[in-house]
Structure 1
């Protein structure tokens, strides 16, 4: 059965490979991209049933505009777009770029589209979530900025969000599922731009091509037997490469109380509130340092 799939960041890297594979399988893909002109060039090279729409995840006004302008229902939302290991910068809304683009924008977009999603939400994380700590200082305003730790925090936030979304969907009696996915070590544009020693070490050395890294994302988005609240990644050593499978994530990513507090804070920061029943609150209102 052909589906309608929204893929954020579909212009290059993993997003382009996911789009290419979905289009080849006959699915309709809505390419949600910051640069529509470039995206249309990519769409022409791929062919198939593709629609390009502007979406700048560094600006919540753009997120709201995209959601408001999207017609009809979609089967799958793939929260793929993100930034990786970039110097400190802020989004249009004043958020540190990693947490703003990678997590808060995905949180907001999911909430704004959720009532129109029929099957599943896929949130892309990274093996580097294991570096992450969710701090009260989400925006790195009171501590020395370290780009890879900022990236790790955002990728941990992705996992906490994906797992908490599934808990809340279940509590609300919805059939839609939430799945997380990570590509292993894939030669994305972000990794190619980073030439630092720390970047190469943290990324895990030699990378597999984007089309291989896209396989766990495609499995998470299309496989009929996927269970909500799981992480799909490569089954090889240290999850760097291999075939798509259900894989483990850090103990911290399964902290339901932390996830509930992050959800509450994300709703405050973005102004997007949904599935507000709290499934794991402990009475704490602050994110643990």
Structure 2
């Protein structure tokens, strides 16, 4: 569809959508548009005070729940609380992410922080909510990729990046892993005959708050680089369109991947995006799935 915009989102009344990282950036835009079209939106956020401010800004039918994707205990607590109140979940947008270009950091579970937040937390969350998703009439899971996945490589002997750690490379690996997850999830859902659809999206180069945060540790020079880079990016409202289409376009099929059409997929109208060879490799998908099951203790499909 040429020129797809948020106005193409069909009526969402009666649907429940969970959006991780919904208090700012791409997640805030996604939650706002889903609520604007009638969905009840669960803002799954680490900072509930920020989530409450976002909910007031969004208006509509929203609720705020605490979720720290870097803590598997938090993921389980969130899923348990959500399922106690909602037996059916129509949409899960795995939007939240972190990018840290400083020293290597680990999660509460001892996992490298990019991988923990961007992949493992979402892997566990999706698995824990899969039954509620499967009970919905047209359920969907959206995984948020990045252009950086195309230059990354997964070293299964060093998934935690303990050898020669570099923050930018770790971020790229985590987004490749997230992309592999979304593709492999589609394969497994199809094989199981599940009604749940797995789609993917990336925002191109977008002016979110992750970029300046990533460079804070480099002082004035880092901040200058970050804000200069922001000048070359598109707005958050434009950057959110690929994931909104992946989430809400009724014609989308499982495994489809959306991103911007222009300038090497960095900006512009929404179109189908290109997966790296590694992201599309079923062997890589199986290996990552097995590793994620072991690391999270969550097994499904």
Kindly tell me: are residues 179 and 199 of structure 1, through their superposed partners in 2, closer, same or farther at Cα, counting changes over 3 Å? farther
Structure 1 portions without partners, runs of 5+: 276-289
Matched residue SS, 2:41:
strand
Matched residue SS, 2:267:
coil
Kindly tell me: are residues 54 and 165 of structure 1, through their superposed partners in 2, closer, same or farther at Cα, counting changes over 3 Å? same
| Runs of 4+ in structure 1 over 2 Å off | 192-201
- Equivalent residue for 1:231? 257
- Equivalent residue for 1:74? 89
- Equivalent residue for 1:252? 278
Whether 1:52 and 2:64 are equivalent positions in the alignment is yes
Give yes or no for contact 1:85–1:199 (8 Å, CA) kept in 2. Answer: no
CA distance in 1, matches of 2:266, 2:225: 15
Matched residue SS, 2:90:
strand
How far did 1:86 drift?
3.8
Kindly tell me: are residues 167 and 204 of structure 1, through their superposed partners in 2, closer, same or farther at Cα, counting changes over 3 Å? farther
- Equivalent residue for 2:189? 169
CA distance in 2, matches of 1:5, 1:245: 23
CA distance in 1, matches of 2:147, 2:111: 23
How far did 1:244 drift?
1.4
- Alpha-carbon displacement from aligned partner over 1:168-220 (angstroms, at most 9, x marks no partner): 0011011211001111111111113244499769x797111111111111111
Kindly tell me: are residues 247 and 204 of structure 1, through their superposed partners in 2, closer, same or farther at Cα, counting changes over 3 Å? farther
CA distance in 1, matches of 2:173, 2:223: 20
CA distance in 2, matches of 1:50, 1:59: 24
- Equivalent residue for 1:206? 232
Tell me the TM-score normalised to structure 1 length: 0.91
Whether 1:99 and 2:115 are equivalent positions in the alignment is yes
Give yes or no for contact 1:131–1:149 (8 Å, CA) kept in 2. Answer: no
How far did 1:242 drift?
1.2
Structure 2 portions without partners, runs of 5+: 1-10, 216-221
CA distance in 2, matches of 1:107, 1:39: 22
- Equivalent residue for 2:125? 109
CA distance in 1, matches of 2:107, 2:44: 18
- Equivalent residue for 2:7? none
Compute the RMSD of aligned alpha carbons.
1.8
Tell me the TM-score normalised to structure 2 length: 0.87
Give yes or no for contact 2:207–2:230 (8 Å, CA) kept in 1. Answer: no
Aligned residues: 273
- Alpha-carbon displacement from aligned partner over 1:218-248 (angstroms, at most 9, x marks no partner): 1110000111112111111211011112111
Give yes or no for contact 1:32–1:54 (8 Å, CA) kept in 2. Answer: yes
CA distance in 1, matches of 2:111, 2:281: 24
- Equivalent residue for 1:32? 44
CA distance in 2, matches of 1:139, 1:247: 28
Give yes or no for contact 2:184–2:285 (8 Å, CA) kept in 1. Answer: yes
Give yes or no for contact 1:130–1:250 (8 Å, CA) kept in 2. Answer: yes
Give yes or no for contact 2:48–2:66 (8 Å, CA) kept in 1. Answer: yes
CA distance in 2, matches of 1:213, 1:192: 17
Kindly tell me: are residues 199 and 69 of structure 1, through their superposed partners in 2, closer, same or farther at Cα, counting changes over 3 Å? farther
Kindly tell me: are residues 150 and 205 of structure 1, through their superposed partners in 2, closer, same or farther at Cα, counting changes over 3 Å? farther
Give yes or no for contact 2:101–2:166 (8 Å, CA) kept in 1. Answer: no
Matched residue SS, 1:74:
coil
